[in-house]
Structure 1
Amino acid sequence: MQIFLDQILVKFKIAGRGIDYFGKEAIGDDYTALFELVKNARDACAKHVDIIFENNQIIIEDDGDGMTEADIENNWFVLATDSRLKRTKTNCHGKQVWGEKGIGRIALQKLGDKAVMKTLAKGGSQTVIVHHDWQKFNKEGVTFDDVDFPIEVRSKGKDTKGTTLEISNLNSRWPTTRRAELQTELGMMISAEDFNDIKITVDGTIVGLETREFRKKVSQIAPYKISASISSNGVTTKIADVWKNQGNWQPGKTMDGDYGDGTYPGKMRVEFYFFPRGAAKQETAKVEKYYKQKLKNASFDLNNFSKENSGVYLFRDGVWARPLGGQDDWLGMEARRVQNPTGNIGRTQVFGVVNVTKKNNPDIKPSSHRESMQKSKEFIGMKKVLIQILKVLEAYWREVKAEDKKETLSGYKDRGEKTEKQLKDAIKIIKANEKTLGKTTAGSVTRMLKDATEGFEETKQEYEDRLGEVERIDDHIKKVASLGIMTSYMAHEIANPLEQSIKIIKNARKMMDETDFDEKIPKAQVEEGWEMVEGLEKNAATMSKFTEMVNKLNKHIATSVSKKGRARDVNIFDLWEKVSEGFSSIKEKYQISIIDPSNTKLTVRMDPIDLECIFANLYLNSIESLALDKKNSKKTVSVETKWDSSGLTIDFKDNGIGILAEEKDNIFEDFVTGDTSSDDDDYHGQGIGLSICNALIERYNGSIKAVPPYGEGAGARFILHFSSDKVSKVA
């Protein structure tokens, strides 16, 4: 048994320099510090807040409810006070208070070493003056409890209710450019609807008017908009399109929320305003014509918008959760767009607003230093579902482009047929009125119209020929894209052996410099030299294999283009073997076993480069999937072929990470990728490889589809079918 002779009680002490943790170190920049003080004023029911820069001071004046001496002692000087827990709504408009941690007043320390606060409470008769000298905290051995703040109390005189802060010994310079930036930042920090609560000025200029006007113009000008509400019942989206329903909202659609590895984040509202551009911003593009007309009398710079104002902004109870928005691509939109520039929407093409509240989304909240958000399960779920909403808009945009393309081609045809009919009708009318016109005149006009008709028919045929050529070029582009994918993959894979080779050469040169060749060279050094040589040989073989594969594909594409995709006899097994051998070093690296088709003699007649590109894209897809499957020790890729009266069928499968069930129906569409901003990049369908496969197979009246099972660890299986009316069996 232990006997305690004495017991003492101790308390935590905070060293004076710990004030920096709450002030200078906790608050990212001066703009955020000033906004913390603005938030305090708004929560005190201020209708006006004036920020003035004069005589090397920052003066902040508000007409809020002010504070009594007791308020100052019990709240202002109590860090992390629980008053925020007791009072969550403002006394005036009943809205959620903006301050929440009870440490906003330490923003004074971020801005300057000294401050004087003068405050008169609503209905009060005394003005209270508090002197702050933050330098006292820097003295050696000082704790928080050792620092005193002088307080004066005087009759209010002509003072009016509210609080004035005079900050001096400033820590930063405030030239005109920074004050202008402050106006912009403060304007962005408050959502449009909350400008009605409070008017903020900086040196007499009202803050937020430009921001409010900008947001108004965005909503008026954006050709496409998507609005979404997220609730426990799912995600409801509706889209507005200026070319449909006069830009009014189309009927909404509800879908299950996809929260990935996160959880349901709570109710929230989302709006994305989408500004696509025409190819190379050509003025003839439909959308560019729209912008030209819409922006004729509007002071809205579309190019500047993309550079400066675009992005998805997160607002929490009307306050911008800085820095999530603007140039902070927190949803990874540009990474997705880089993979598919014409299909995925990038940050610079969108102005988005995400509205959350402390009440509905308590776990989506700032980190302690206020400059980022806590990575909670709810925050992760929110990011995931926002990408889901973005994909709805992207799918709609792809449909619009496809419809526009059809309408354009149909329009050419309709106009051509109409013109042709009009010419022929004119000839009939003239012949029917020969007597009135006179035979000579009628004959002359008829010949002119016949010449016009023949000329039109030649033009029509030329157009159809050119359209066919465009389709052939598009086909060649798919093949060149395959070469690009393979080259990109090759560059990634040879980077490591190339780097190793450079390192080996450096070490070899160093060894040569340090070796005395007049003396007997130690056996260990000779063995080390041979290891270097073997390493170089291995790396050279890896790089050679890849370059040989790319060179072959390049040559085959060139041949295919020159022969306009002429069909030849193709032994499917030989061609698959050639493709798989081109990646033999990768196969060894990830220990992938290849299960070849049982029918090694099946030969068909088709363009071999088409099948080579298809195999290369599918195999690259499998390699990426298998490489990510760390738990699988028996990685396999198998190919099986079959011929019947309907044509050629290829069964291609791997046992990698798998395909998401919700992605199975659209992974073959043009320019559809998975989400690179989350963990879903562990699945198939990340690049344009599958869409290229689909496009090439469609040339053969064929199809490609993913078949079950789906999901993590289920592997991927694709069934490819080539119609017998386009592919013939040779042997």
Structure 2
Amino acid sequence: MIENIKVDENKKAKFKVDSRLITQILGSEIIESHSIAFAEQIKNAQDAGASEVTIDFSNMKNDEIIITDNGNGMSELEVEENWFLLGNSKKDGEASTSGGKGIGRLSLFKIGDSFQVKTSNGHEVTTFSISNKELMKEKTESFETDLYTEIRNESIGTQIKIKELDNEIILKEIELELNNLLSDDNKLDLKIIYPVDFTPTPFFTKGDIEGVVPFAASIFIDFDNFNKIEDISYKFTAKLQNEIIYTNTKFLTKFTKILTQLIGKKEDTLNIGNFSFLLANFFFDNKEEKFLPQSIKDKSIREYFLKVHQGINIYRNGFKLYGHGSEDWLKLAENRVSKPGENIDNKLSYGVITLDNEKSILLKEKSNREGFIRNESSKLFKDLLTIIVKQFGQDRYTATREIRSKIQSLKNEEEHKKADITSNGNEGENSEDTSLDKTIVENNNKGGHSAAKTEVKGIIAGSEGNQKKILKIASKKIDHGDTLYLKDDNIVNSEFLNELKLISSKGLLIEAGIVSPNNVPGKYIVNYIYGENSESLNLIINERKIIKEKKSKSFFKDSNHFNGEINLSDISELVFQLDGLKYSEKNLLYIISFRAILESTIKNYISKRPTLELSGSFKDNVLAAIDDLLIITEIKGKKDSLKEKKTAIHKKFKGRDQLSSFLTSLKVKFDKEKYDKFFHSLTHNPATIEETLALELANDIILPIHVLVHCLEEAGIIG
């Protein structure tokens, strides 16, 4: 028998929205990077018709960041009906949409806890403010804020003032990640104003290094007419001293079979319009440097170009899609581990993929903006790219042999010339000693990055009479691995900056006025030339302090993941046994020691964490430790009692985001069975690996993990 239920026809049920959805779930929590939050504001500004966007960090010390654009602005009605409408966008259906669900707007809460928006459409100016504290006070469905509107003529555009800033915003990280945000064809004028005490890094552009890239390929596919292998336009070129050494336009048989299968699966899942892909890779060999097509030092390319542009980057609608590039989304490192010679390294490569703005909507971005949602289209797209990159790796492998053969020929020619000179009695000529041998002259006023080489003799020192000195200081000390802007206003009097030239002593690496972190420790002289006047700065680069060390080549001596001293106290015995041993003759001993050091570090960490237990699986122990490190190094709000100690560790590891990125990428590597088996084979079924890969294992994986654990112990964060 069905019970009769009395229904109140006037009673309704409705969804309610917790205010935390606005400030956290759609705001600060879904967006993990400050740079992505700023990128969202830039995208929204361009969607609103802006041709100029300015991000002003100059007043950060007073807890304020201002974002301004010259877009179309909004009326009061548009603010009310569009800006405050979550879960929808007036740009629905466009591939360029970046404001859907309100994520673009609400990512402001990642930057600060309150903000004020002032927007003008040319006829009226509307202002409103939103505060996280006020939102949390209100009932879930009833938040309101005042709109102040004035009818007046004012330049169109929008200004956002952000207050109560997140105290972990790191300008160096933002500078790095926004540097390649815009594609080359994006006409948006993005201006970033930094605080006066911040020295911007003079990163290279793709144009700056165009003539020094030895391996490059161009790929184009029209997916509307993509039915066979021949529909892929692929051209690989290798150069040495601007001479083409090797070219290829065909795929290997083993790859054509896989590509044919992919094409058979594609149907409508890869109807993503036109697709272009430019891929380049560097050949770094210090011993052969003078034979390579380079006018820029290898280390400068790493520091001032690859630091920004490394990896395979994807652009759509003029903007880079996050979750690619330095994030090794194609798993190039794993492929390189399995076959080092035939696969390229993500760190030494850069690629630019440009997607069709309208037709590539099958590749959907994740809500957190870091990569594509996994679906059949993104899977096939990734599989296709993997094969193309593997073909590039095979071509690079073949071209490298051709280059080395050519270099050997050049060496032989050089030896013959030397022999001829000696036999003619010319040896010893032009041996005049100069204190500035092969000096580098930089004229930064011209904006160039490549340095013109010249010799300078007999420069008359300035500062005669009452003339003001060029330099404020006579000497400067920095630590190995640090950078120094030689035209900083703490070093140079500002009136001399225009037309000022720098001449450095032999061996000092300088690019665009900045001393490279890759310089060898020692004493250097930098001459500052203004007209006919010159003054000298004595520069001392101190050795990087290594505690409990002996000479063991460059293993465990360097790491770009952290700054400052390297403490090897806990692993000194294992490191010392490598002292003086040639890697080429004792590579097995090196590899076994690497494995032992890493295992010892991980076991030591787990033993000090009461929530962790040792497993019989090396991989499981590594993954458990990394997961715990990600948690324990995170600052838990402003009331975290260990905040200062954790901040100091973040600083040593170049910022919170950098540390998190390092640990996450390491986790991904060990989470793959192939990588675990690789480490297992190093000990139980050893095989010779290239010394460059061994150096990478030591300095990019084992050393930073060891130093991080040591820092946590020293700070008392772990027992």
Whole-Å separation in 2 of the counterparts to 1:43 and 1:329: 29
Deviation at 1:680, TM superposition (A): 10
Partner residue in 1 for 2:208: 217
* Corresponding position of 2:73: 66
| Superimposed CA distance per residue, residues 361-406 of structure 1 (whole angstroms, 9 cap, x where no aligned partner) | 2232322222343222222222222221122222222322444566
Are residue 397 (structure 1) and residue 401 (structure 2) matched?
no
Q: 1:56–1:82: structure 2 CA closer, same or farther, 3 Å change rule?
A: closer
Higher helix share: 1
- Any residues of structure 2 matched to 1:487-502 within 5 Å, and which? none
Residues 68, 159 of structure 2: 8 Å contact kept: yes
Which amino acid in the other structure matches residue 134 of structure 2? K
Encode CA deviations 1:674-724: one digit per residue, 9 max, x unaligned: x9999999999x999xxx99xxxxxxxxxxxxxxxxxxxxxxxxxxxxxxx
Percent same amino acid at aligned positions? Answer: 22
Q: CA deviation at 1:273?
A: 0.8
User: Which amino acid in 2 is paired with 1:290?
Assistant: L
Shift of 1:340: 3.2
Q: Does 1:190 align with 2:191?
A: no
| 2:328 aligned partner | 329
Q: Is the 8 A contact 1:98 1:319 kept in 2?
A: no
1:213-252 to 2 correspondence within 5 Å?
213-230=204-221, 231=223, 232-233=226-227, 234=229, 235-243=232-240, 246-247=243-244, 252=249
What's the counterpart of residue 142 of structure 2?
146
Compared CA separation, residues 179 and 257, structure 1 to 2 (3 A) = farther
Question: 1:19-30 alignment to 2 at 5 Å?
Answer: 19=22, 20-30=24-34
Q: Tell me, what secondary structure is at the counterpart of 1:398?
A: helix
How far apart in 1 are the matches of 2:412 and 2:172?
56
**Tell me, which stretches of 5 or more residues in structure 1 are unaligned?**
90-95, 418-478, 500-538, 540-674, 694-731
Partner of 2:7: 6
Change (3 A) 1:344 1:410: same
Amino acid at match of 1:9: K
Q: Name the amino acid aligned to 1:17.
A: R
2:53 alignment partner in structure 1: 49
Q: Tell me the CA shift for residue 212 of structure 1.
A: 8.2
**In structure 1, distance between residues paired with 2:113 and 2:306:** 39
**Aligned counterpart, 2:296:** 295
Q: Which residue of 1 aligns with 2:161?
A: 166
Name the amino acid aligned to 2:162.
I
1:269 aligns with 276
Question: Per the alignment, do residues 683 and 385 of structure 1 end up closer, same or farther by CA in structure 2, a change over 3 Å counting?
Answer: farther
Are residues 155 and 345 of structure 1, via their aligned partners in 2, closer, same or farther at CA, if it must alter by over 3 Å? same
1:698 is aligned to none
Match in the other structure for 2:312: 312
| 2: CA distance, partners of 1:129 / 1:156 | 13
Alignment of 1:57-136 (within 5 A): 57-85=64-92, 88=94, 96-121=96-121, 124-136=122-134
Cα distance, 1:50–1:397 mapped onto 2, change above 3 Å: closer
SS of equivalent residue, structure 1 residue 190: coil
Amino acid in the other structure paired with 1:240: T
1:311-368 residue CA offsets vs partner (Å, 9 max, x unmatched): 2222232222223112x22222122223333332111221111222453322323222
Amino acid at match of 2:395: Y
Alpha-carbon distance between aligned partners in 1 of 2:401 and 2:54, rounded to the nearest angstrom: 53
CA contact (8 A) 2:116 2:130 kept: yes
- 1:174-573 to structure 2, matched below 5 A, reads 178-194=170-186, 196-203=187-194, 213-230=204-221, 231=223, 232-233=226-227, 234=229, 235-243=232-240, 246-247=243-244, 252-253=249-250, 256=259, 259=262, 265=270, 266=272, 267-278=274-285, 281-282=286-287, 285=288, 289-292=291-294, 294-295=295-296, 300-302=300-302, 305=305, 309-326=309-326, 328-357=327-356, 359-404=358-403
Q: Secondary structure at the match of 1:361?
A: helix
TM-score under structure 1 length normalisation: 0.50
Residue in 2 that maps onto 1:648? none
Q: Secondary structure at the match of 2:312?
A: strand
Q: Is 2:152 the counterpart of 1:156?
A: yes
Query: Take 2:278 and 2:247, find their aligned partners in 1: how far apart are those partners?
Result: 14
Distance 1:400-1:59 versus aligned 2 partners, 3 A rule: closer
Deviations 1:185-231 (A, max 9, x none): 2222222221x2333332499x9x98884221233321110111233
Question: How far off is 1:413 after superposition?
Answer: 11
* Contact persistence 2:52–2:188 (CA under 8 A): no
What is the distance in 1 between the residues matched to 2:414 and 2:337?
38
Q: Which residue type is aligned with residue 74 of structure 1?
A: E
CA contact (8 A) 2:323 2:370 kept: yes
Equivalent residues of 2:126, 2:147 under 8 A apart:
yes
Question: 1:407 & 1:214 partners in 2: Cα distance?
Answer: 29
Secondary structure of the corresponding residue to residue 10 of structure 1: coil
Deviations 1:134-173 (A, max 9, x none): 3222137x21x2110101111225x211111122222336
Report SS of the residue matched to 2:65.
Answer: strand
Corresponding letter in the other structure for 2:318: G
For the residues of structure 1 that align with 2:114 and 2:671, how far apart are their CA atoms?
44
Shift of 1:110: 2.4
Rounded to whole Å, the distance in 2 between the matches of 1:164 and 1:187 is 22
TM-score by length of 2: 0.51
1:320 and 1:394 map into 2 onto residues whose CA distance is 24
CA contact (8 A) 1:46 1:65 kept: yes
1:152 counterpart letter in structure 2: Y
- AA partner of residue 71 (structure 1): E
Is the CA contact (8 Å cut-off) linking 1:322 and 1:371 kept in structure 2? yes
Mapped to 1, the partners of 2:378 and 2:672 lie a distance apart of 12
| Matching residue's letter, 2:378 | F
Q: What displacement does 1:97 show? A: 4.9
Alpha carbons of 1:45 and 1:416: their partners in 2 closer, same or farther (altered >3 Å)?
closer
Residue type of the alignment partner of 1:27 = I
Distance 1:407 1:350, change over 3 A: closer
Matches of 1:396 and 1:193, distance apart in 2 = 29
Matched, 1:38 2:42: yes
SS in 1 for 2:370: coil
Between the aligned partners of 1:108 and 1:77, the Cα distance in structure 2 is: 14
Report the Cα offset of residue 129 of structure 1. 1.3
How many aligned residue pairs are there? 432
Q: 1:258 to 1:337 in 2, by over 3 A?
A: farther
- CA shift for structure 1 position 410: 8.4
Deviation at 1:411, TM superposition (A): 9.1
Consecutive unaligned residues of structure 2, counting only runs of 5 or more, are 417-583, 604-615, 617-668, 689-719
Say if 1:150 and 1:272 are closer, same or farther in 2 by CA, change over 3 A.
same
Computed over aligned residues only, the root mean square deviation of the Cα atoms, in angstroms, reads 5.0
Q: Find the residue that maps to 2:129 and give its secondary structure.
A: strand
